[in-house]
Every structure is written in C-alpha cells, then in structure tokens.
C-alpha cells in the first residue's frame, strides 16, 4: 500500500438543495456538468486521482449566511477572469474573491444559496499585487465567455473555521490528515485524492440546524478506532440514518465517515 493509499480518502459529498432536478439544470446550463438521474450519485474527477461521488439531497433550507462557512467543494478552472466575468454576466452572486500567491479563487452561490468555490492555480512568482488591489477595490472588469464554463477536477475541499488551531487539530490529529503548508491563515492537509484546506473565517452560520450546504464523507480504514479517538477527545457522534458515523467539527460542520 502506498503512503497516499493509507490516508483518509474523500469518498463523497452531500449537498442539500430544495429540488435536485432544478439544481441539476443549474449545473448543466452554466457548467456543462452532466448529472445522473434525480437522487442518484454522479462522479466528480478528483485532482489526486479517482472520483468523488456527489449527491444532491432534497430538503435543503437556505441559512441566510452569505459569507463563506462550513465546507465548500473547490473546482479547478483554467481562467479566473473568464469565470468571474461569466458569473457576473449571468447574475450568479459572487460572495468572496481573492488573488493569493499560487491561487486565484472566488466563491459563488447556487440557486439554493449553497456556496461553491472556483480556483485557478497560478505560479506564486507571478503574483501581482496591483491585480489584487484592483480586485479588492472592485475596479476589475472581466469579459464573459460563451456558456457554459468548463470545470476542471475537484481541486480541493475547503473547510472554513473560526478557530483554525482547533479545526487543524481535529482534522490532523483525530481524522488523520497530515499537515502541509500553513500560511495566510490557511492550513493545507492531505487526503488521498484531494487537498483539504482549512481557512479562517469570521462568518458564523445563522441557522446551523437547518439542512444546507455540503457535507463531506471520508473513507476510514477502521471506524471503531476513529470513533474511539474522536470520543476520547470529547466529540460525541451525531445521530444519522445513513451507514457509518458522523461527527461535528469545531466550526459546526458535520463530517461523515464510512468504512473503506
């Protein structure tokens, strides 16, 4: 078994929506993403290889929080400017955007007010402070390409935290994701097939008990050991109907685990 194979793997994503059929139409129209039949899983290619199963679950209720919080699937795009121009032209709300050394990223809301991230990987040496200033002062204008946008693989899973140290310990020491770089308020962790990036945020969910947003599902080599480790650290398992286990991380995100 390789070192990567021994790591927890992002197995699936669950996203709560009001109508899976309407949500599918949104992703097909704007991103050319062919989805399976309503209620069925469909496959997202992962940047680290393999696929991640994505399911749109009915019963979603918007929480009213526009800022980034909880977990966001981050899709790769080839051109940050083209993606930004398209979203603006289509009236799709962008709630956060940033240009950092190594990555240009933005967060938009789907029709159910669920946040998703688009990220263009760049060279850190090519970072231009002037472009970042233009973006942050809202002077930047980008032309809209022909629809739909082309999504690359699932580049990373972004998890927003109020206390990045506590969340870092949860995912590194208890879930078992080894840590990499930590800078600009970000902690990079490695799953077997995607990067997991913990980012700090001041936004707090207005309705954490309402089903909304996206919840990750990780494969665990030994569910019993994982559960014992989490409970010994003071985390109680969440009651869920699905097979496997679920625990709530320090920021309030429900994280699912299933047997490898």
pLDDT confidence of residue 24? 86
Mean pLDDT of 20-29: 88
| Distance, CA of 177 to CA of 8 (rounded, Å) | 7
pLDDT in tens, 48-63: 999 999 988 888 877 7
pLDDT confidence of residue 148? 84
pLDDT confidence of residue 133? 75
pLDDT confidence of residue 68? 75
Helices (H), 104-155: 129-136
240 vs 177 pLDDT, higher one: 177
Mean pLDDT of 154-163: 93
Residue 155 has pLDDT above 90, yes or no: yes
User: Residue 63 in contact with residue 252, Cβ under 8 Å?
Assistant: no
Mean pLDDT of 152-169: 93
Give me 51's structure tokens. Answer: 């696929």
| Distance, CA of 159 to CA of 178 (rounded, Å) | 15
Q: Domain spanning 9-259 has what CATH number?
A: 3.10.180.10
Weakest mean pLDDT among 102-111, 123-132, 209-218 = 123-132
Weakest mean pLDDT among 4-18, 198-212, 226-240 = 198-212
Scanning the structure block, which residue is given the tokens 């050394």? Answer: 101
User: Residue 116 in contact with residue 73, Cβ under 8 Å?
Assistant: yes
Residue 217, H or E segment: strand 214-220
pLDDT confidence of residue 1? 46
How far CA 105 is from CA of 92, 116, 128, in Å, comes to 15, 10, 14
Weakest mean pLDDT among 53-62, 75-84, 221-230 = 53-62
pLDDT in tens, 124-144: 887 777 777 777 767 777 778
Mean pLDDT of 44-48: 90
CB contact set of 172 (below 8 Å; sequence gap of 6+): 178, 179, 189
How does residue 189 score in pLDDT terms, banded at 50, 70 and 90?
A: very high
Domain ranges of the chain: 9-259
- Mean of per-residue pLDDT scores for the chain: 86
């Amino acid at each position: 078994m390789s070192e990567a194979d021994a790591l927890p793997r992002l197995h699936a994503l669950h996203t709560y929506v009001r109508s899976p059929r309407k949500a599918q139409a949104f992703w097909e129209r704007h991103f050319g993403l062919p989805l399976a039949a309503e209620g069925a899983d469909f496959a997202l290619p992962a940047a680290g290889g393999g696929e991640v199963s994505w399911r749109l679950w009915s019963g979603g209720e918007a929480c009213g929080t526009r800022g980034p919080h909880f977990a966001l699937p981050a899709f790769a795009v080839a051109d940050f400017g083209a993606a930004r121009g398209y979203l603006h032209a289509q009236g799709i709300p962008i709630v956060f955007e940033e240009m950092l050394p190594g990555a240009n990223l933005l967060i938009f809301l789907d029709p159910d007010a669920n946040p998703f991230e688009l990220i263009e990987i760049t060279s850190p040496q090519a970072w231009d402070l002037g472009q970042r200033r233009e973006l942050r002062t809202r002077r930047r204008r980008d032309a809209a390409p022909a629809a739909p946008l082309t999504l690359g693989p699932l580049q990373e899973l972004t998890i927003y935290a109020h206390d990045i140290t506590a969340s870092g310990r949860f995912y590194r020491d208890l879930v078992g994701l080894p840590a990499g770089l930590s800078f600009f308020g970000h902690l990079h962790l490695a799953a077997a097939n995607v990067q997991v990036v913990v980012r700090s945020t001041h936004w707090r969910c207005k309705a954490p008990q309402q089903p909304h947003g996206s919840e990750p599902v990780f494969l665990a080599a030994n569910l019993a050991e994982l559960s014992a480790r989490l409970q010994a650290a003071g985390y109680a398992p969440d009651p869920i109907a699905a097979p496997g286990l679920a625990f709530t991380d320090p920021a309030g995100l429900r994280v699912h685990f299933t047997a490898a």
